[in-house]
Chain A
C-alpha cells in the first residue's frame, strides 16, 4: 500500500487550520505567507474573482454584501428556522431560500449553497497542504462541533467532497483536542474539554487510558460562541449611538462591518489590557453632508457584565454534562481550553473557578483541533496505531410516533458504533402503511427536533390497531453514518434508508405532516397484559374515588378515620404511580393493596347505609 497522507482540517467559524502528522509528529501547516490559521471568509470581487481567507477578510468592509463569514453558523440548517431568520437580520450578505427549503447565499447574482461556500474554504486549506507537502493530498479528516446534528455533519462532508477531498471521517472538535493533548503520552486521566470557538460551544468529558480516548458525555450549544460575545459589544455600541443620535448603525452595512471589526479587536485587546478605546470616525453620514463619529471606552468590567449570561449558560451546560458522565468536578484531572474565545480572561477565570483546576497550558487553543484531526487521520490509515477514539452520538435519535411525539431509540451519549431497535405498532384499524420519520434532538415533540429523513413501510396486513408489530432499528456506524430500517415482524417485509443530507423539510411542513400523519402514524406498542391490568386497576380506583366522599364526612371526625383516609389516598397515589411506569408488575402489586382498601371502604359505606 502506498504511503498516503491524511490531513486534518479544523473548519472553524472564524478561522480554519490544517495540520498533518509528519514522521509521527503532528504539525500545523502554515500557508505561503507564514500564517498558521486562515480566516473562514469567502468573497467575490467586482471582477468576479474569488477570494478566500485573509484576502477576503481584508476587503470585507468595502465589499460587505459579497463577503461571507461564519458560514458554519448556517450550514446544514433549514430555511424556515428562527436561527436563519436571526442571521438574515444581522448578516450583511444575502441569505435566501433554496429550491428545497434549504438556505442559499446570493453573491453577485449567483446562488451558492452553504456546502459550496464551506468547500471554498476547504479547498484553500487543501491548497495550503498541497503546496507545503509538495504533492497533492486527497484524504482529510474534518472536524465539526460535537453538538452538530447529522444534517450539519452531512453538509460539512459534502463541502469536503466538493473541494475534491475524500473525507475519511468527520470527528468532533473537543475529541480532536483531547487526542492532541494525550498523544504520545502514556496517561490515564479524566479530562474535560471546554471548547468555546467563534460560533459554537462544546463541552466534552473524556477518559483517556492505554491509548483509548473514550468520550463519557458531550453537550453544547451550536449558537454560542465568540461571535455572540462580539455581538454584545456591537449592541452596546449601537444602543449608545441610537440613544445619542437616534440612528441604528446596524441598518448600514458598512457601518455594521466596521462595528464588527472594532468589536472583535476590542474583545481581543481586553484580554491583555483592562480597557480599550473604540474609535470609529465617520461611522455614518447624517445625510446633510455631515458625518458622525463613534468613540467609546470599553472596560473589562463592562464587558464582563455584557457577557455574563453567556458565561452562565456555558457553566450550566458543563454542569449537566458532568452529571451525565456521572462525575464530580473533583474527578477531573485536567481541563483543556480550546478555541480563541477561551483567551478571554473572564472565561479563564470562570473555568478555573468552576472546575477548581487551572486550565491546561499544554495545548494551543487555535491549533489543537487541527492537530487532533491529523492524528486521527493518521490513526485511521494505520490499523496498528496506538490511538483509538471512542466517540458518542450527541443527540437522541428516534422516530415520530402518534400525536407528534418523539420516541428515542438511540439515546444521546451512546458510544458508536451501535445499533438499537424498538417495536412499534399501528394506530388505526386496517392501517397497512407506516411512515417512519427519523428525527434527532432532545425534545419529546418531534417537530422541535431535526428531521433527518423518512420512508414508508407498506404491505402490512389489515388488522385492528395495535396488533401489527413493526420493528424499527437504528444503526450508527463507526464513521457516524446513520441507517434506519423498519421490518414487519410477521411478513418480514423490510424497508430502510441510510440517512444522507436531507433535502430539507420545513418546520411548517412537519407541522402539517403531524396533522395528516395520524393516517400513517406509528404507535408505541404496549403489551396487552399491561393494558388489561391497567384497565382493571383504573376501574378499582374509580370506585374508590366514588366511595371516598360518601365515607369521608363521617369517619374524618375520628383520628382513626383520618388515618384511614390518609392511607387510602397514599394507596391511590402509589397505584397511579405504578400505572405510569408502564410495567405490569408494579400494577399487579398495587392492585392487591387497592383491592384491600376498596373492601374496607365498601364495608364502611355499607354500615353507613
Chain B
C-alpha cells in the first residue's frame, strides 16, 4: 500500500539515459520506476532498505532522470577552465589597459585572446586542442583544423592589433606545436609518457568501481580464510590452551596456586609451544613449593631455636626437596648443617645455592663465609663476610668473624 504522503518517483520524459552521469546500479533502480510504486515498495523491489533507496532516488532526481518530491535537477557543474569556453570566464579579471587599448579588435575577441593567452601554460597538448587523450588521429586533425580556424593570425583583422598581435601569434604557435607532437605517432607516444592526465567523470567512476570490486574480493578472501581457520583443529586446540592459561592466571591472582597450576598444566598439554605457559608453570611450582614447605620451615625453625640440629636438618632437607628453589629453605639447611657439624661440602653447596637464590640476604653470605672457613678457604670466606656486611653493615657476628680472620685466630 502506498503511503499517501510519500512522494512517488516518476521518470522524466525525453531523457537520454546513455548521456546521464549515473552508475549501473542507479540505472537498474531507474528501470524499476513505474510511476506508481512508492519508496518502500521500490525498496522491496530492488532489495535495499528504504534509506538507501531514498539516497539513490535523490541522486537520480539531481541528475535530472526522475522527478522525486521537490528535488530538482542540479544545474550541471561548470566545467573546469578549458579553451573555447565562450563567454564564461568566471571571476577572471581582464587588465583594463588591454581592454581599452586602441586597436581593431572588438571586446569579445579581446577577452577571448587575453583569457586564452593567460591559461596557455597550464594546458597540455590535448587540452589545448580540445581532444581526449584517447582520440584517434583523424579526430585530432579535425580538432586542429577547427582550432586553426579560431586562432590562426590570418583569422584576425590585418590592421592595427596592438599588443594582441603578439598574443595571437604565441597562442597559435603553441597550437601548431601541440599538433606537431600529437600528429606523429612516435612523438605522441613519447609525449604521453610524460603527460599527466585528468580523468573524465566516467573514467573516474570506472576506476572507483574497479577499486571497490578489488576491495570486495580482498575482504571476501579474508573472510573465507578466517572461516577456514575457525574450523581448523589445531587452532581449536590453541584456543583451548589459551582458555586454560587465562583461567590459571586468574587462579594465581586469587591465591589458589595449586588450582592455577593444574589449569596451566592443562594449557600446556593443548599447546606445548607457548613459552608463557611454561613460565607460569615454573612460577606456580615455585609458589606451590613455597607454600608446601611452610610447615617444614616452621618446624625446622623451632628445632633450630632449641638447638636440636638433627631434627632441624631433617625438616629443612624435606623443605629443600619439596622446593629446591626456595632460598630460605636452602639457607636454613646450610646453617643447620654447619651448626650440626655435618659434611661441610654438602652444606657449602646449599649455601651457594642459597646465595644465588637470595642475592641480597646478608645471612646467606654469613653462612657461606662460615662454611668457606670450615673448608679452609679463608679468602673466599672473607669475601663472603664482606658481602654480608654490605647488606647488613651492623652484622655483629660477621664483624667478629672477620676480625678473627684478619688476626689469624
List chain A positions with a Cβ less than 8 A from chain B.
1, 207, 209-212, 214, 379-381, 383, 388-390, 414-419, 477-478
**Is A390 in contact with B180, judged by CB distance below 8 angstroms?**
no
List chain B positions with a Cβ less than 8 A from chain A.
141-142, 145-146, 148-149, 152-159, 169, 172-173, 176-177, 179-180
- Determine how close the nearest CB of chain A comes to the CB of B141; give it in whole angstroms: 7
**Is B152 in contact with A415, judged by CB distance below 8 angstroms?**
no
**Is A388 in contact with B141, judged by CB distance below 8 angstroms?**
no
- Determine how close the nearest CB of chain B comes to the CB of A309; give it in whole angstroms: 34
Q: List 19 A-B contacts (CB under 8 A).
A: A1-B159, A210-B145, A210-B149, A212-B148, A212-B149, A380-B158, A383-B156, A388-B148, A388-B152, A389-B154, A414-B180, A415-B179, A415-B180, A416-B176, A417-B172, A418-B180, A477-B153, A478-B152, A478-B154
Known: A210-B149, A418-B173. A383 touches B154 (CB 8 A): yes
- Determine how close the nearest CB of chain A comes to the CB of B387; give it in whole angstroms: 65
Question: Which residue of B is nearest A419, CB measured?
Answer: B173
Which residues of A are found within 8 Å of B180, using beta-carbon distances?
414-415, 418
- Determine how close the nearest CB of chain B comes to the CB of A183; give it in whole angstroms: 16
Give bound CA distance, A477 to B173, whole Å: 9
Give bound CA distance, A417 to B154, whole Å: 11
**Is B158 in contact with A212, judged by CB distance below 8 angstroms?**
no
**Is A388 in contact with B155, judged by CB distance below 8 angstroms?**
yes
Q: A209-B141, A380-B158, A417-B153 are in contact. List 7 more A-B contacts (CB 8 A).
A: A210-B146, A212-B149, A380-B154, A383-B156, A415-B176, A416-B176, A478-B169
Give bound CA distance, A452 to B172, whole Å: 25
Give bound CA distance, A388 to B158, whole Å: 14
**Is A212 in contact with B145, judged by CB distance below 8 angstroms?**
yes
- Determine how close the nearest CB of chain B comes to the CB of A373; give it in whole angstroms: 15
Give bound CA distance, A478 to B146, whole Å: 17
- Determine how close the nearest CB of chain B comes to the CB of A167; give it in whole angstroms: 13
Give bound CA distance, A402 to B12, whole Å: 74
Give bound CA distance, A478 to B152, whole Å: 8
Which residues of A are found within 8 Å of B141, using beta-carbon distances?
207, 209
Give bound CA distance, A1 to B154, whole Å: 17
Among B149, B154, B173, residue most surrounded by chain A Cβ atoms (within 10 Å): B154
Within 8 Å by CB of A418, from B156, B159, B177, lies: B177
Within 8 Å by CB of B158, from A381, A416, A419, lies: A381
**Is A417 in contact with B176, judged by CB distance below 8 angstroms?**
yes
- Determine how close the nearest CB of chain B comes to the CB of A494; give it in whole angstroms: 16
**Is B149 in contact with A211, judged by CB distance below 8 angstroms?**
yes
Give bound CA distance, A390 to B158, whole Å: 17
Give bound CA distance, A323 to B200, whole Å: 37
- Determine how close the nearest CB of chain A comes to the CB of B84; give it in whole angstroms: 16
Question: Which residue of A is nearest B145, CB measured?
Answer: A212
Which residues of B are found within 8 Å of A390, using beta-carbon distances?
148, 152
Which residues of B are found within 8 Å of A418, using beta-carbon distances?
173, 176-177, 180
**Is A417 in contact with B149, judged by CB distance below 8 angstroms?**
no
**Is B157 in contact with A383, judged by CB distance below 8 angstroms?**
yes
Give bound CA distance, A214 to B147, whole Å: 13
Give bound CA distance, A207 to B183, whole Å: 13
Give bound CA distance, A379 to B157, whole Å: 11
Among B148, B149, B173, B177, residue most surrounded by chain A Cβ atoms (within 10 Å): B173
Within 8 Å by CB of A477, from B148, B149, B156, B169, lies: B169
- Determine how close the nearest CB of chain A comes to the CB of B135; give it in whole angstroms: 16
- Determine how close the nearest CB of chain B comes to the CB of A586; give it in whole angstroms: 14
Which residues of B are found within 8 Å of A383, using beta-carbon distances?
154-158
Query: Would you call the interface of chain B mostly helix, strand, loop, or mixed?
Result: helix
Question: Which residue of A is nearest B179, CB measured?
Answer: A415
Give bound CA distance, A444 to B21, whole Å: 56
Give bound CA distance, A535 to B80, whole Å: 50
- Determine how close the nearest CB of chain B comes to the CB of A205; give it in whole angstroms: 14
Which residues of B are found within 8 Å of A477, using beta-carbon distances?
153, 169
**Is A379 in contact with B154, judged by CB distance below 8 angstroms?**
yes
Give bound CA distance, A48 to B145, whole Å: 54
Which residues of B are found within 8 Å of A416, using beta-carbon distances?
176
- Determine how close the nearest CB of chain A comes to the CB of B267; give it in whole angstroms: 57
**Is A214 in contact with B145, judged by CB distance below 8 angstroms?**
yes
Known: A207-B141, A209-B142, A209-B145. A478 touches B153 (CB 8 A): yes
- Determine how close the nearest CB of chain A comes to the CB of B56; give it in whole angstroms: 44
Give bound CA distance, A337 to B142, whole Å: 27
Which residues of B are found within 8 Å of A209, using beta-carbon distances?
141-142, 145
Give bound CA distance, A505 to B67, whole Å: 81
Which residues of A are found within 8 Å of B179, using beta-carbon distances?
415
Question: Which residue of B is nearest A216, CB measured?
Answer: B183
Give bound CA distance, A189 to B121, whole Å: 34
Within 8 Å by CB of A388, from B154, B157, B159, lies: B154
- Determine how close the nearest CB of chain A comes to the CB of B331; give it in whole angstroms: 71
Question: Which residue of B is nearest A379, CB measured?
Answer: B154
Which residues of A are found within 8 Å of B145, using beta-carbon distances?
209-210, 212, 214
Which residues of A are found within 8 Å of B157, using beta-carbon distances?
383
- Determine how close the nearest CB of chain B comes to the CB of A473; give it in whole angstroms: 11
Q: Give the 9 A-B CB pairs with smallest separation, nearest first.
A: A212-B145, A478-B153, A415-B176, A383-B157, A418-B176, A383-B155, A210-B145, A417-B173, A419-B173
- Determine how close the nearest CB of chain A comes to the CB of B137; give it in whole angstroms: 10
Give bound CA distance, A392 to B190, whole Å: 23
Which residues of B are found within 8 Å of A417, using beta-carbon distances?
153, 169, 172-173, 176
- Determine how close the nearest CB of chain A comes to the CB of B258; give it in whole angstroms: 70
Give bound CA distance, A418 to B172, whole Å: 8
Question: Which residue of B is nearest A411, CB measured?
Answer: B180
Give bound CA distance, A154 to B145, whole Å: 29
Which residues of A are found within 8 Å of B149, using beta-carbon distances?
210-212, 388
Which residues of B are found within 8 Å of A419, using beta-carbon distances?
173
Give bound CA distance, A380 to B154, whole Å: 6
Among A209, A379, A381, residue most surrounded by chain B Cβ atoms (within 10 Å): A209
Give bound CA distance, A148 to B159, whole Å: 28
Question: Which residue of B is nearest A479, CB measured?
Answer: B153
Give bound CA distance, A23 to B152, whole Å: 25
Give bound CA distance, A232 to B223, whole Å: 91
- Determine how close the nearest CB of chain A comes to the CB of B130; give it in whole angstroms: 15
Question: Which residue of B is nearest A381, CB measured?
Answer: B158
- Determine how close the nearest CB of chain B comes to the CB of A17; give it in whole angstroms: 24
Give bound CA distance, A499 to B146, whole Å: 31
Which residues of A are found within 8 Å of B146, using beta-carbon distances?
210
Which residues of B are found within 8 Å of A414, using beta-carbon distances?
176, 180
Give bound CA distance, A379 to B177, whole Å: 24
Question: Which residue of B is nearest A169, CB measured?
Answer: B154
- Determine how close the nearest CB of chain B comes to the CB of A323; give it in whole angstroms: 13
Question: Which residue of B is nearest A209, CB measured?
Answer: B145
Which residues of A are found within 8 Å of B176, using beta-carbon distances?
414-418
- Determine how close the nearest CB of chain A comes to the CB of B51; give it in whole angstroms: 53
Which residues of A are found within 8 Å of B152, using beta-carbon distances?
388, 390, 478
Question: Which residue of B is nearest A326, CB measured?
Answer: B184
Give bound CA distance, A239 to B85, whole Å: 72
Question: Which residue of B is nearest A476, CB measured?
Answer: B173
Which residues of B are found within 8 Å of A211, using beta-carbon distances?
149
Give bound CA distance, A481 to B153, whole Å: 14
Give bound CA distance, A381 to B158, whole Å: 7
Give bound CA distance, A210 to B179, whole Å: 17
- Determine how close the nearest CB of chain A comes to the CB of B299; give it in whole angstroms: 83
- Determine how close the nearest CB of chain B comes to the CB of A392; give it in whole angstroms: 10
Question: Which residue of A is nearest B104, CB measured?
Answer: A1
Give bound CA distance, A403 to B388, whole Å: 98
Give bound CA distance, A1 to B169, whole Å: 24
- Determine how close the nearest CB of chain B comes to the CB of A377; give it in whole angstroms: 11
- Determine how close the nearest CB of chain A comes to the CB of B143; give it in whole angstroms: 11
- Determine how close the nearest CB of chain B comes to the CB of A435; give it in whole angstroms: 27
- Determine how close the nearest CB of chain A comes to the CB of B105; give it in whole angstroms: 10
Which residues of A are found within 8 Å of B159, using beta-carbon distances?
1
- Determine how close the nearest CB of chain B comes to the CB of A130; give it in whole angstroms: 22
Give bound CA distance, A419 to B159, whole Å: 23
Which residues of B are found within 8 Å of A415, using beta-carbon distances?
176, 179-180
Question: Which residue of A is nearest B159, CB measured?
Answer: A1
- Determine how close the nearest CB of chain B comes to the CB of A527; give it in whole angstroms: 18
Among A1, A212, A389, residue most surrounded by chain B Cβ atoms (within 10 Å): A212
